Structure formats: structure tokens, C-alpha cells
Amino acid sequence: MPTDAVLRELLLRQLDAWLPAARQRARRATLALAYAGTDDGGADAALRAVAAHGDRLRGFRLTILVLAQGTEDLPARLGAVEAALPAEVAVHVMPGDPARLPVALKAAGAAAAPLLTVAHGAAPTPALLAAARTGRPADLLLVGEPDAPLRPWLSAAGFPLVAEADLAVGPLAAAGGSVRRIAFATGSDRSLTAFKDALWAAGGAGGVRYLDPAEPGGPALEASAEPDPDPLGRKLLAELGRTGPRTLTELRRHALTDTLYRAEDATRAVTALLAAGAVTRDPEHGRLGGDVLITARPGAGPAA
């Protein structure tokens, strides 16, 4: 599965979660799609995904901004897709690169309403990040090369929750083959959960692996609807070693905010650790609920 196909699938799944949530929160919202080069069909796919929501968008004003370079046929291509969009959806296609996003978002009146910004190949400049933060709520998906961490830029821009992953497709993925860096920034646990769900589901067709930029040389994780819990189990053991006993709720949140995994994966990982005798629980019996205290056994460590 080519990298661009995985990224399109990730965007479509993110839109399926974002649109209903935005519709519930406000009467208007903005979707901004910006590409440093060509859009590789991403804009077409996004508009078709919006069209699929059809009647559910009645009474909801959605502005879609599309910025791309090197795609002269983009307006004509998207014009054909626009015909299927509800009247409440306005599409604006502009030549240029993501550097023009701040001006485009201001002109569209994107501030103070739900905003999802998707930027491919964009430099995380303070101006771009500040513009993406004007949404209420604001979600930002960045795609670039794995040459520098994006998390510090996004955190400094005021996004409280950031997830970062390196996407690799094909047999060379584990050895550092063709890799794209993906970063998602938001202020909403719900949005972050939706992104993690989309991340693992989008690569589920096989041959897709994720690497954690915070763990250079770490394992390549095979994309799956139910990813292998063992690497997360080792991370949770390390966390317990640093902090001491934690509740399952705390470990679930650590998995969501500080690893590539989802909160639900932490429950599976802790269950496996309990079965292996690497951790204990208090109370010892009963349902594994969020208030159950998990403690690493003496001698247990990240390699357990």
C-alpha cells in the first residue's frame, strides 16, 4: 500500500470523526487542506468524504480551503466533485503552499469555530501554527519528512495534546526505508482518541509499520486494529518503574498521550502483564476497572 494511500485513508477516517463532532459544537466550521506540492488526490477524497455526510450537514456551514502547488487541473478536478456537495459547503481553491494558510484562514473567518487543518510538507512556522490554533476547537495534522521532531513545535504553539509517528510502508520499513512523519495536535482527548483509532485502522491493509520518533532505533510496530501489546507493556513497566504504582486509568491516559498506542491498548497490555506475573493489582480480584492500582513486581523491568 503506497504511503499516499495510507495518508488519504487516515484523513478520511479523521474527517468521519471530526465532522459530526464539529456539527454538534457549532453552526459553522472550516476544513483547511494545504500541500507543499501536489495533493495526490487527497483533496478529491476529502470532498467526497464530506459529500457522503450529505443531509447530516443541513444547517451547518462548512468552508473548505484547498491550497496546492503544481496541480493546474485541481480547480477543474474539484469542480466535478463539488457538484455532489450540499449547498451549505463552500470550497475555495487557491494556488500556493502551506505558508499562505494564515492569510487564507483569516480571510475565511475560521477563528472561534471548529477548525481542522491538514498540512502536507509544511514547515511548522510560528505563523502557521498560530493560525491553526485559532479554531475552537483546533485540530492540526502535519505530514512531513522524518528529519526533526514536530512535537516541540506543536507544544510550544499551545497545543496541549500531541501525537507523533513515523509511517513506513513496505519491507524496508523496519530498516528505515521510505518514511513520512505524521503529527497530530489538539486540545481534545476525544480528537486524539479518534486520531489514534484512525492511525491504526488506516494502515491495517498490511505492510504498514509505525515507528516512535521519541524512540530512535526502537521497534517498528505492525499496523493492526489490535496492535501487539507487548511493546506497550514494556513501556508501561518502565513508567511504573519511574513513578511507582499507577491506576489503570492513569496508565490508559499515559498510553494515549505519551505513546503511539490508544487507551484501550493499555488495558490489553496490563492484562498481559498480569498474566505474566510482571505486575500485581489491588484489589487482587474482580473487574479490571480504572481505579485498580497496578504495581510492578520487584525485579520486573522494561525487558520483562
Mean pLDDT of the region 12-18: 95
State residue 205's pLDDT score.
Answer: 62
The pLDDT assigned to 165 comes to 94
- Answer with the residue of higher pLDDT: 37 or 229: 229
Binned at pLDDT 50, 70 and 90, residue 70 comes out as low
Model pTM? 0.92
Of all residues in the chain, what percent carry a pLDDT higher than 70? 94
pLDDT of residue 233: 97
pLDDT attached to residue 178: 72
Q: Are 3-222 and 230-296 equal in CATH topology?
A: no
The domain locations on the chain are: 3-222, 230-296
Rounded to the nearest 5°, which phi and psi values hold at 7? -65, -40
Residue 72, pLDDT score: 74
In the chain, % of residues over pLDDT 90: 72
Whether the upstream peptide bond of residue 283 has omega within 30° of 0, thus cis, is yes
Average pLDDT over residues 277-302: 92
Q: Residue 4: what residue type?
A: D
Give me the chain's average pLDDT, please. 91
Q: How does residue 46 score in pLDDT terms, banded at 50, 70 and 90?
A: very high
Confidence grade of residue 299 (pLDDT, cut at 50, 70, 90): confident
Instruction: Please give the grid coordinates belonging to residue 75.
Output: 480547480
Query: 83-102 burial, b for 16+ CB within 10 Å, e for fewer?
Result: eebbeebebebbeebbbebb
The answer to whether domain 230-296 has CATH 3.40.50.300 is no
Predicted confidence band of residue 1 (pLDDT cuts 50, 70, 90): very low
CATH superfamily of domain region 3-222: Vaccinia Virus protein VP39 (3.40.50.150)
